[in-house]
Amino acid sequence: MKISMKTKRITAAMLAASMILAATACAKEERQTFTGDKTEEPAYQANLDVISPIAYSETDGLNLEPGTYISIIGKDEASAFWKNVKKGVHQAEEDLNKTLGYTGNDKVKVTYNAPAKKENIDEQVNILDEELARYPDVVGVASIDADACSVQFDLATENGIPVIALDSGNNYQGIQCTVKTDNAEAAKTGAYKLADAMGRTGDILLLVHDSKSETAKERTEAFCAEIEEKYPDVNVAEILYVDQFEELKKQIVEEQYAASNTSETENTANAAAGSAGTEAAASTVADAQNTPAEETDAASGTVESDTAETQISAEELAAKSAELTDEDVILYYLEKYPNVKGMFGTNDMATQLGVSALAEKKADHSGNTEKTENAEKAEDTDKADKAENEQEDEILLMGFDAGKAQLDALKNGEISGLVVQNPFGIGYASVIAAARTVLQAGNEAEVNTGYVWVTKENMESESIRKMLYE
């Protein structure tokens, strides 16, 4: 039987089609075969898992135009915390471009800029001015001062540049979204952890990183409220704002100068009264104290007016206060409040100052002990030393954040516990919030980036270790 060419062509086509179907079926079967392997998660996934709402940890669905420009401005360039915010920012940039398939000039551009000096408000304002002049599609700012930059934000709004906030909010009414730690809850956690560790009694020194940022205000208010509400026998004896330490140094010098001169005057008066042996001589010295303009005869046991002076000159005040360190300020208040059993720092810098101050206190005490260990001691001196030892042993330090120095201090027992934020997550979620703002996709008023409580005992556990940074 003769087969026509048309029949041959039909048969060949059917055979080819069946082969394609068979190959497709094999491919489907191969893709559906379970191999036991899991999709590998990125190393930073733990930082994204604690972000709420979850939409701010994902790049899917953010169909930004090619070349979109997002500007993020932080508080500083140097600290471990802000270095990790920057890492989160650039990881989100990388993930966005990978999701969108953008390369070259089409890439979404995300920049991170911050003051070189720690929390320099003037430098931050200058950076914001420069960034607005480049007309980004959106700008995100971690405000050093909650009341600053209203002029710049007005200018941004006029030019159609929306503004979001990260880490610290701003009082400007046009902020689209704020990405941050729940500062109130985090500070409350620190408050009850410290109060419980102190045995629910004693004084606390609260070391606050500044007096202007919303972050500092929220943590301070929440910490104090928790103590006042739940721990009647615990007292926040003093709130020390680190950005006010220069003024505190001057106050300390003035107080010490006045106390020293008063003490010298009293000693001179007592000496004069004893040498003259008469009530009249003592009276003359007392009069001299009260009338510094008058001078009396030294031979009769009186003193000159300058022994009663309690005012220090401006030049000497500046010189003396410049000799004091930030640690000296903390040590002064530890001496002022002998019942202090705990200190709490509201960020990495404040907490580290606490570490340094307690180290100096310990070193000073060790030096004094070595000098007098072979000397004969009076009973009251023994009691004073014992009281100082007891305070030193009982002072517990807790605080915020987890740079290398703090983690080392946690390991060796200088710090008893830390509220560890999620700076990587703050940076990442800020870029997502910025992208949503550009797309007018709707934003939450606040995005919570989470925190963990870290101690020497739990810092090596896998879930905690993933949240630590150096």
Question: CA-CA distance, 242 to 388, in Å (whole number)?
Answer: 25
Tokens 């419980």 sit at which residue?
A: 196
Q: How many CB atoms lie within 10 A of CB 361?
A: 19
**Full strand arrangement of the beta sheet holding 451-454:** 234-241, 202-208, 340-345, 396-400, 417-421, 451-454
Please, are residues 351 and 415 in contact by the beta-carbon 8 Å criterion?
Answer: yes
**Cα dihedral value 224, 228, 232, 238, nearest 10:** 40
Position 28 scores a pLDDT of 38
Six token digits for residue 460: 């090596």
- Cα–Cα nearest to 325, from 419, 411, 249: 249
CB 80 within 8 A of CB 407: no
The CA distance from 215 to 223, in Å, is: 12
List the beta bridge partners of residue 141.
73, 165
Q: Mapping DSSP to helix (H, G, I), strand (E, B) and coil, where does residue 165 land?
A: strand
Where helices occur in 324-378 by DSSP H, the ranges are: 326-336, 348-372
Nearest partner of 395 among 134, 243, 221, 199, judged by Cα: 199
CATH architecture of 45-181+422-450: 3-Layer(aba) Sandwich (3.40)
Beta bridge mates, 18: none
1.20.210.10, 3.90.1150.10, 3.40.50.2300, 2.40.50.140: which CATH number matches 183-245+325-370+380-419? 3.40.50.2300
Concatenate the DSSP letters of all residues of 243-297 into one string.
GGHHHHHHHHHHHHHHHHHHHHHHHHHHHHHHHH-SHHHHHHHHHHHH-TT----
Q: Which helix (H) or strand (E) holds 343?
A: strand 340-345
Q: Could you give the C-alpha distances from 389 to 331, 382, 395, in angstroms and in order?
A: 15, 10, 10
Residues across the chain: 470
Per-residue pLDDT tens digits of the chain, which is 470 residues long: 444 443 444 344 444 444 433 443 443 333 333 444 556 789 999 999 999 999 999 999 999 999 999 999 999 999 999 999 999 999 999 999 999 999 999 999 999 999 997 789 999 999 999 999 999 999 999 999 999 999 999 999 999 999 999 999 999 999 999 999 999 999 999 999 999 999 999 999 999 999 999 999 999 999 999 999 999 999 999 999 999 999 999 999 998 888 877 665 566 555 554 554 445 434 433 444 444 444 444 444 444 444 445 688 999 999 999 999 999 999 999 999 999 999 999 999 999 999 999 999 988 766 665 555 544 454 555 555 544 454 445 799 999 999 899 999 999 999 999 999 999 999 999 999 999 999 999 999 999 999 999 999 999 999 999 999 97
pLDDT of the residue at 309: 59
Whether the CB-CB separation of 112 and 430 falls below 8 Å is answered with no
Between CA 128 and CA 346, with CA 74 as vertex, the angle to 5 degrees is 135
Question: Residue 160, by phi and psi: left (phi above 0), alpha (psi -120 to 50) or beta?
Answer: left
Q: According to DSSP H, which parts of 101-182 are helical?
A: 121-133, 150-158
DSSP 71: E
